[in-house]
Structure 1
Amino acid sequence: MSVPSLDQSASESVVVSRLRAAGCVFAEDEARMIMSAAADAAELEEMVERRVVGLPLEHVVGYAEFCGLRIEVDAEVFVPRRRTEALVRMAAELAPARAIVVDLCCGSGALGVALATALDEVELYAADVDPAAVRCARRNVAPAGGEVYEGDLFAPLPVGLKGRVDVLLSNVPYVPTVEIELLPAEARDYEARVALDGGVDGLAVLRRVVAEAAEWLAPGGVLLFETSERQADEAVAAVGGAGLLAQVATDDDLDATVIIASRPDTV
């Protein structure tokens, strides 16, 4: 069967048909996003073809919708998930006025930008080990007045932040290594492995974060990270093993499990 080509007068129905044939469940919504993002017929054809062969929609159109914001997302950069909006909402409820916020393992910088947008007078810092993520995050974070650093976890952050961070967002990778191959192809094949792989039990990166978190948190400061429901008990144990107190917060609507950790002397 021949596949209809796209020209400048291509109707939305043609795009929808091609996307639906490729297995896109929300073909109508995706068609509208792609057609809005394409500058001309040639780009529209290219974008539809990229989506048809399996690239994440966000990589095709170059952005993700997150907390009501349009976050730029480059190829291979982790796409912020809607469930993570719950983490941002919880962080906003806990943040003090004029908060110092750090977004660790920031990816596109979506979490930090969304939190900064929800609050007033935020001092925002972000960091990631992946150079591609850092380049992408800088375009998102700079308009929010923040800075992005390249390096491993806390290492690239200004030393002067130690003991001053009010909200530490750390959406660490938490997929066990052996389960990477079980992820949807959009994530498995097109997002950086470093943004997905949490080690043998999925908690390797988390343990490194909580081991240093206390010295970076301000009095009353909190660390928030996402995990899976089945990993929650082990994650809480990891937090406790690092001398922090943890509580588990959930959002059933978004299917989100968030751990909120703090220093014992600030509770």
Structure 2
Amino acid sequence: MIDSGPGIPDEATIVATLRAAGCVFAEEEAALLRQAAASPGDLADLVARRVHGIPLEHLLGWVEFHGHRVTVGPGVFVPRRRTAFLVDRVVEYSMARPGDRRTVLDLCCGSGALGLAATRALRAAGVAVHLIAADIDPAAVACARRNLEPLGGRVFRGDLFTPLPGEPIGRVDLLLANTPYVPTGMITRMPPEARDHEPRGALDGGSDGLDVLRRVATEARRWLAVDGRLFVETSESQSDTAAAIIERSGLAPSIAHSPQDGTIVVEGTRVAL
């Protein structure tokens, strides 16, 4: 962090610059950029890059998610605050079941934020967690390894379930799949920070936004333990279709709504036949 001084833009100037560029939380961003800067030149560069639309989290190298600082980097999807509701649902469901051990699979893991937050919450409650994760994007995998390997997690690179070892088949208790769900035709309407600086594959869910969910659901029952549950985030308009997709895959569907911000999590449970 650098202090105010000769040649260093004052706080008000930085805030005004960021606000003029459309940064809604300009005061908070200015403080964070000042903390991250190592020199006046570094601060000027950070502010300039932010003004040109680089996500704040990519400039800082981290994002606050579910009470934890998660490493992120250029070209990696930035986990949204609303997705913390999915983690809450995972923990709530897990704690309502007997047993003190869980196998957690974070699929389409990106930075690994969901796996990290769920693992820490469950371990804090006395539950032992075996954590595995996968993503197809090499930048995401490298980032997830930095976040998850200190927790004992293993991160695999490849398409959905393909790179995973066979040992968790039929043993996954909690399957977290933050699949892309923006319809292809809506990508151009997204904020430039996401549209221009996050990987297209982490955003584009196909014509109706649910193509990747369909692929996950097709395989999910094979990987889940009895009473294991799949958790995915969708929009309100997609929730009924997503639940129907999950039901056709052989899982018992349910839909959870966040009372705080309206986040939708569609879930599917493997029930005993």
TM-score range, shorter chain: over 0.9
**In structure 1, what residue type is equivalent to 2:206?**
G
Residue 163 of structure 2 is aligned to residue 164 of structure 1: no
> In structure 2, what is the equivalent of residue 33 of structure 1?
32
- Measured against aligned partners, the alpha-carbon deviations of 1:122-175 in whole angstroms (never above 9, x if no partner) come to 111110001110011111111221011000000111111101111000000011
Residue 128 of structure 2 is aligned to residue 129 of structure 1: no
Q: What's the Cα RMSD here? A: 1.4
Structure 1 position 9, deviation (Å): 4.1
- Measured against aligned partners, the alpha-carbon deviations of 1:20-75 in whole angstroms (never above 9, x if no partner) come to 12111110011111111112222211111110011111111111110011111111
With normalisation by structure 2, the TM-score equals 0.92
Superposed, 1:60-139 pairs within 5 Å as 60-95=59-94, 97-120=100-123, 121-139=128-146
Residue 19 of structure 2 is aligned to residue 20 of structure 1: yes
Residue 261 of structure 2 is aligned to residue 254 of structure 1: yes
**In structure 2, what residue type is equivalent to 1:230?**
S
8 Å contact from structure 1 (residues 173, 196) kept in 2: yes
Separation in structure 1 between the aligned mates of residue 151 and residue 39 of structure 2, nearest angstrom? 31
Separation in structure 2 between the aligned mates of residue 32 and residue 80 of structure 1, nearest angstrom? 21
Residue 181 of structure 2 is aligned to residue 174 of structure 1: yes
Q: State which drifts further: 11-20 or 55-64.
A: 11-20
Residue 219 of structure 2 is aligned to residue 216 of structure 1: no
Separation in structure 2 between the aligned mates of residue 143 and residue 15 of structure 1, nearest angstrom? 36
> In structure 2, what is the equivalent of residue 51 of structure 1?
50
> In structure 1, what is the equivalent of residue 232 of structure 2?
225
- Measured against aligned partners, the alpha-carbon deviations of 1:54-109 in whole angstroms (never above 9, x if no partner) come to 11111111111100111111111110000100000110111252211000000000
8 Å contact from structure 1 (residues 225, 258) kept in 2: yes
Structure 1 position 7, deviation (Å): 6.0
Separation in structure 1 between the aligned mates of residue 41 and residue 8 of structure 2, nearest angstrom? 12
8 Å contact from structure 1 (residues 86, 254) kept in 2: no
Runs of 4+ more than 3 Å apart: 6-10
Question: Secondary structure of 1:122's match?
Answer: strand
8 Å contact from structure 1 (residues 82, 254) kept in 2: no
> In structure 2, what is the equivalent of residue 196 of structure 1?
203
With normalisation by structure 1, the TM-score equals 0.94
Q: State which drifts further: 185-194 or 94-103.
A: 94-103
8 Å contact from structure 1 (residues 87, 226) kept in 2: yes
Question: Secondary structure of 2:195's match?
Answer: helix
8 Å contact from structure 2 (residues 116, 148) kept in 1: yes
8 Å contact from structure 1 (residues 8, 40) kept in 2: no
Question: Secondary structure of 2:261's match?
Answer: coil
Q: 1:13 to 1:231 in 2, by over 3 A?
A: same
8 Å contact from structure 1 (residues 7, 42) kept in 2: no
**In structure 2, what residue type is equivalent to 1:113?**
L
Structure 1 position 18, deviation (Å): 1.2
Structure 1 position 11, deviation (Å): 2.5
Q: 1:127 to 1:157 in 2, by over 3 A?
A: same
Percentage of identical aligned residues: 53
